[in-house]
Amino acid sequence: MDEDATAPAPDDRYARGLEILRVVGGQHDPAVVDALADLAPDLARYTVEFAYGDVYARPGLTWRERQLVTVAALTALGTAPTQLHFHIRGALEVGTTPREITETIAHISVYAGFPAALNGLSAARAVFSEEGAAVEVAADRGPDGDESRYERGLRLLSEIDGDAGHRVVESLRDVAPDLGRYLVEFAFGDIYAGTGLDLRMRELVTVAACTALGTATPQLRLHVGGCLNVGGTREDVVEVITQMAVYAGFPAALNALAAAREAFASH
């Protein structure tokens, strides 16, 4: 991170940003620059310089990862269909598979509800149809042997959140035991057990969605720890949160970073 700490000359930032934007945007979009030229040329320039030239150009995550966390955040927010469309296509442009995209969006059902995930999938359908991209749908998971959904969920919850996840389920026992059961069975036994994304990537998109929502601080803290438990690094977490400054604003990123710092300290 140190070599990044020296700000490059403005011209470099713009050129570097434009180059990235052209890859992510594919041949379909004129640069946002043109679209804003007559109305808000400064913001157009900042989009190129800051969003792409500064943040996207950072070395900490692959472009595939950057696109998936952006798709996760925009799916969770549900307020930017144009940008979600753009970034689903951008995900394809940088080599993400359609299946990774649909798994990421489906994963968000846990964090922002089914309507958010279903609307994200509608956007994906539209993009895939335009691009002729086909989803290789998961083969049926088949019989899970003797493991029930609850057992599978508990196993994954332990792997990801350690004791912390169990404490959440335990704490629900007096007032809402079924909500605890659904958390284990659906969130972990169904969604996290899906084969299309590995656990580290699931935790990165979880951190992105919780950062963007801004209303899931206890869960964000838990899953920052979870990310470290399944192979993610502190740098991964900081990169995802930093990128969210672009897509959800600085308060979202700053408040998430405060939560992440607490999780780092107690890990």
Our finding on whether 203 is near a copy of itself (CB under 8 A) is no
- Tokens (6 digits) for 147: 């493991």
Q: Which stretch binds a copy of itself (CB under 8 A): 14-22, 37-45, 157-165, 225-233?
A: 37-45
Shortest approach of a copy of itself to residue 111 CB, angstroms?
Answer: 5
Q: Are 242 and 56 in contact (CB under 8 A)?
A: no
Q: How far apart are CA 48 and CA 55, in angstroms?
A: 10
> Of 189, 194, 179, 169, whose CA–CA distance to 107 is shortest?
194
Q: How far apart are CA 150 and CA 169, in angstroms?
A: 12
Q: How far apart are CA 112 and CA 99, in angstroms?
A: 20
Q: How far apart are CA 51 and CA 25, in angstroms?
A: 13
Our finding on whether 40 is near a copy of itself (CB under 8 A) is yes
Q: How far apart are CA 89 and CA 131, in angstroms?
A: 8
Helix (H, G, I), strand (E, B) or coil at 204: helix
- Residue 4 dihedral angles phi and psi, to the nearest 5°: -75, -20
Residues 180-199 that bind a copy of itself (CB under 8 A): 181-183, 185-187, 190-191, 194
Which of 57, 156, 241, 259 touches a copy of itself (CB under 8 A)?
241
Our finding on whether 24 is near a copy of itself (CB under 8 A) is no
Residues 70-109 that bind a copy of itself (CB under 8 A): 74, 76-80, 82-83, 102, 105-106, 108-109
Q: Which stretch binds a copy of itself (CB under 8 A): 16-24, 61-69, 158-166, 213-221?
A: 213-221
Nearer to a copy of itself, 95 or 177 (CB): 177
Which of 24, 128, 208, 226 touches a copy of itself (CB under 8 A)?
128
Which of 41, 59, 95, 231 touches a copy of itself (CB under 8 A)?
41
Which of 218, 231, 233, 266 touches a copy of itself (CB under 8 A)?
218
Kindly write out the interface string for residues 136-175 of this chain, putting x where it contacts a copy of itself by CB under 8 A and - elsewhere.
Answer: -xx---------xxx-----------------x---x--x
How far from 20 is each of 88, 90, 193, 231, CA to CA, in Å?
15, 11, 34, 28
- Residue 20 dihedral angles phi and psi, to the nearest 5°: -65, -45
Neighbours of 3 (CB within 10 A): 6
Which of 21, 154, 160, 248 touches a copy of itself (CB under 8 A)?
248
Q: How far apart are CA 93 and CA 190, in angstroms?
A: 29
Which of 34, 95, 122, 198 touches a copy of itself (CB under 8 A)?
122
- Residue 259 dihedral angles phi and psi, to the nearest 5°: -65, -40
Our finding on whether 242 is near a copy of itself (CB under 8 A) is yes
Our finding on whether 117 is near a copy of itself (CB under 8 A) is yes
Q: How far apart are CA 11 and CA 169, in angstroms?
A: 52
Number of residues near a copy of itself (by CB under 8 A): 97
Our finding on whether 59 is near a copy of itself (CB under 8 A) is no
Shortest approach of a copy of itself to residue 105 CB, angstroms?
Answer: 7
